[in-house]
């Protein structure tokens, strides 16, 4: 079994990370999961949350608002709708996205409102976790 795998995190605006990692903790829509070298192939959708990579130089945290993760035995690629470092800049961006989401949810009803309310809850928890 290999010690590391390739990890790539990209959003439409830019590539945030690329390099060897030992593990990636992913906020999957169906629940959190950890991808490691030799993981079974799978694709999952993402919910808003914190993505953590573990590499030889320590752990790095990112925030994602959604997207997809493709996990293969030799690497993991995350295609995020939006992604930021889990820092003050990322927190500010998430707060703006949360305000937009709540404003939009206020104009809807039914299942569409329910989906946006869940997204808003996930965003609020992520902001709280960042600190």
Q: 65 and 120: one domain?
A: no
Q: Which domain holds residue 118?
A: 88-130
Average pLDDT of the chain, as a whole number: 95
Rounded Cα gap, residues 125 and 58, in angstroms: 24
32 & 49 share domain: yes
Residue 81 and residue 94 in one domain:
no
Q: Are 84 and 60 in contact (CB under 8 A)?
A: no
Residues 79 and 114 reside in one and the same domain: no
Q: Are residues 37 and 81 in the same domain?
A: yes
Answer yes or no: do 45 and 65 share one domain.
yes
Q: Are residues 39 and 73 in the same domain?
A: yes
Structurally, the chain folds into a number of domains equal to 2
CATH number at residue 28: 2.60.15.10
User: pLDDT tens-digit profile of 38-73?
Assistant: 999 999 999 999 999 999 999 999 999 999 999 999
Q: Which of 15, 19, 16, 17 is nearest to 6 (CA)?
A: 19
71 with 113, same domain: the answer is no
pTM of the model: 0.89
Same domain? For 48 and 93 the reply is no
Distance of CA 110 to the CA centre of its chain: 26
Q: Quick one: 67 and 125 in the same domain?
A: no
Per-residue pLDDT band for 131 (boundaries 50, 70, 90) equals: confident
Q: Are residues 23 and 36 in the same domain?
A: yes
Cβ-proximal residues to 46 (8 Å cutoff; 6+ apart), any chain: 26, 27, 28, 29, 64, 66, 67, 68, 69, 78, 80, 81
pLDDT number for residue 100: 96
81 and 117 together in one domain: no
Q: How far is CA 76 from CA 21, 42, 53, 69, 111, in A?
A: 9, 10, 11, 7, 32
């Amino acid at each position: 079994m290999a010690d590391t795998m390739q990890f790539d995190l990209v959003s439409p605006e830019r590539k945030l990370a690329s390099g060897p990692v030992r593990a990636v903790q992913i906020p999957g829509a169906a629940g959190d999961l950890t991808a490691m070298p030799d993981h079974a192939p799978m694709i999952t959708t993402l919910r808003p949350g914190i993505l953590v990579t573990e590499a030889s130089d320590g752990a790095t945290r990112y925030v994602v608002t959604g997207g997809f993760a493709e996990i293969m035995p030799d690497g993991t690629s995350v295609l995020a709708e939006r992604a930021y470092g889990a820092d003050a800049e990322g927190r500010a961006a998430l707060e703006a996205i949360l305000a937009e989401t709540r404003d939009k949810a206020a104009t809807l009803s039914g299942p569409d409102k329910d989906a946006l309310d869940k997204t808003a809850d996930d965003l609020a928890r992520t902001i709280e976790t960042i600190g």
